[in-house]
């Protein structure tokens, strides 16, 4: 708390009273929100809590659902999982540090055995290609789906409304259904715009 007060005192000279009130309120709210080391919204649903690891300063926002289904779900430091995202543990989900997951995403580790025809898929065994791994610094856009066994390399970007069915290399930007490579972040000009990109 002392650190927050020092920051407030340093900025007093450059703010109006209204700005100072807003600034102070946001810092106090943030400090209170993180009092347990991380934040989980009251509306978030987390089944089998002992299988879920949440590291410091991570945020799990409104109406997020996490169902480990007997396997570990790990959420790294400073990672933010935005509203209405659903995570099914299946064979495990490992999310690194500083990851941004936008609203309405689906991360589903595991699959239904649709190849067999003897019994309804609803009652068939589950199959898996392994855990889902989302490495440090990844940004997943809104309404995206990450499927079983996928690894998304560090600092990669998944465009909104994408379905990721294959591994994504570090620093790559992917998008679409199924997701395909759009660009590599390391080779982008400073003012790159994916909307004006020539196909």
Asked if residue 173 has pLDDT above 80, the reply is yes
pLDDT cut 90: percent of the chain above it: 63
Q: Answer positive or negative: Cα dihedral of 178, 169, 141, 182.
A: negative
Strand partners, 80: 59, 100
Q: How confident is the model at residue 13 (pLDDT cuts 50, 70, 90)?
A: low
pTM, rounded to two decimals: 0.79
Looking at per-residue confidence, does 23 or 126 come out higher?
126
- Mean pLDDT, the chain, integer: 86
Least confident of 41-50, 81-90, 160-169, 182-191: 182-191
Q: Please check whether residue 101 is in contact with residue 80, taking contact to mean a CB–CB distance below 8 angstroms.
A: yes
Annotated catalytic residue within 74, 112, 123, 154: 112
Contact 109, 131 (CB under 8 A): yes
Helices marked H in the chain = 2-11, 17-33
Active site residue 112: yes
Residue 198 has pLDDT above 50, yes or no: no
For the stretch 92-115, pLDDT in tens is 999 999 999 999 999 999 888 888
Lowest mean pLDDT of 15-19, 73-77, 108-112, name the range. Answer: 15-19
77: left (phi over 0), alpha (psi -120 to 50) or beta: beta
Architecture of domain 37-185: 3 Solenoid (2.160)
């Amino acid at each position: 708390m002392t650190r927050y007060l020092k920051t407030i005192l340093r900025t007093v000279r450059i703010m109006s009273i209204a700005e100072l009130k807003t600034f102070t309120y946001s810092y106090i709210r943030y400090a209170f929100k993180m009092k347990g080391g991380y934040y989980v919204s009251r509306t978030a649903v987390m089944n089998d809590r002992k299988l879920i690891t949440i590291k410091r300063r991570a945020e799990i926002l409104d109406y997020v659902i996490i169902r480990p289904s007997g396997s570990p779900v790990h959420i790294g430091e400073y990672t933010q999982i935005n509203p209405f995202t659903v995570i099914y543990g299946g064979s495990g989900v490992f999310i690194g540090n500083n990851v941004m997951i936008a609203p309405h995403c689906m991360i589903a580790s595991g699959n239904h055995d649709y190849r067999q025809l003897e019994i309804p898929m609803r009652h068939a065994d589950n199959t898996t290609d392994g855990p889902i791994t989302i490495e440090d610094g990844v940004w997943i856009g809104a309404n995206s789906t990450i499927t079983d066994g996928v690894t998304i390399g560090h600092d990669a970007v998944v465009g909104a409304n994408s379905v990721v069915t294959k591994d994504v290399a570090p620093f790559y930007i992917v998008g679409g259904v199924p997701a395909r490579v759009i660009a590599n972040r390391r080779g982008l000009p400073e003012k790159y715009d994916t909307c004006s990109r020539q196909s």
